[in-house]
Amino acid sequence: MITADQYKLYGFLMSPYSMKMRAYLRYRRIPFQWVTGEAANTIAMTEVEPYMVPVLGYPDGSYVNDSTHLIDDLESRYSDRSTTAENEADAFLALLIEDYADEWLLAPLFLYRWETEADQTHNAQWIIYEYFRGNIGHEQFDAMTELWRTRQTGMLKAVSGEPASYDMVKASLHDFLAIMERAVRERPFFFGSRPSRAEFAIFGMLSQLMQDLSSNRFMREQYPLTSRWVGIIDDMSDFEGDWESVSDQPERSQNSIVYELLKLSGRYHLPMLLANQTASQNQEKFYSLKIAGESHKRRVLPRALPCLPDLQQRYGVLSDSAKAALSPVLDDTGCLPFLID
């Protein structure tokens, strides 16, 4: 039996990857203790490299971060209520959508969170409020709030690109949200009546948009069902369901939300990963990403460098039958050329 003190998840409510992992652990019914505030920050600073939350404390005393790696590991350890689809091709599509959410949706989230002075003030205060676990009277509260605001706004160009690209970055988010709003009218999950890792990655990003100042407003006004979906995914420990393959029939995949999300990956996410990788290999600090015929300058992000090789490796080891099933939809959505190393 797993006991409640065996796993500790160190994270923050204002961290999309922390919320992703918390919802995942709840659904899997893997007992854990949620640790936030200064204690979580200390673990992230001292026990893992690079600094990043969430960090999962394991029963053997080890600490691991990176939500994708953590899900891989927990899927291998526990079979009950797995988020890995039974169909091999579907499982790969869920992984690809997870990476799209983790790596691309972060850019518009970060932009909406830190672009305006009102959002900067609101979000920095919320983060430090959580850091001090509600002790707004702490003598360092105001200084820490300003320190965090300055730190995060200084990262805005690195994460979200140059100001000339802001309209494109925001439009990419609203394209995604329009797809989600249509999809959740019919069903809450992508591969049947149970969640995959893709839904948890998307939930992580949307959980932040729902609590930030400006984005909360347009989420509730323009995407009300998606906003409610976020609340459902947060804790699905009572959900039961079955897998329903998307990849077994081309016409089924082409009429699914999966197909629409893959088009966004092929348009934004995978080209970004390739451009980032190429620039790094050429020892360049910036790369140019071309979208709809327009070039967008961005700083090379080291944290994204493992993503494309990992996706290519995972695609490469798929069975011939899985590749045959995936080939039409991946080719049609513009994803396939990026996955062939």
pLDDT at 53 over 90: yes
Mean pLDDT, residues 276-282 taken together: 97
Asked whether the predicted pLDDT for residue 86 surpasses 70, the reply is: yes
Q: What is the mean pLDDT of the chain?
A: 95
Q: Which pLDDT value is given to residue 4?
A: 52
pLDDT in tens, 185-194: 999 999 999 9
Asked whether residue 13 carries a pLDDT value surpassing 90, the answer given is: yes
Most distant CA pair in the chain, distance? 62
CATH of domain 8-77: 3.40.30.10
Alpha carbon separation from 219 to 183, 227, 325 (Å, rounded): 15, 6, 35
pLDDT in the model for residue 340: 94
What confidence score (pLDDT) does residue 169 get? 98
Q: What is the mean pLDDT of residues 8-12?
A: 97
pLDDT confidence of 254, banded at 50, 70, 90?
Answer: confident
1 pLDDT more than 60: no
Over residues 52-62, the mean pLDDT reads 95
Within 10 A of 268 (CB to CB), how many other CB atoms are there? Answer: 22
Report yes or no on whether pTM surpasses 0.75.
yes
Instruction: List the chain domain ranges.
Output: 8-77, 88-109+162-339, 110-160
- Least confident segment among 156-160, 253-257, 314-318: 253-257
Tell me if 339 sits within 8 A of 260, measured CB to CB.
Answer: no
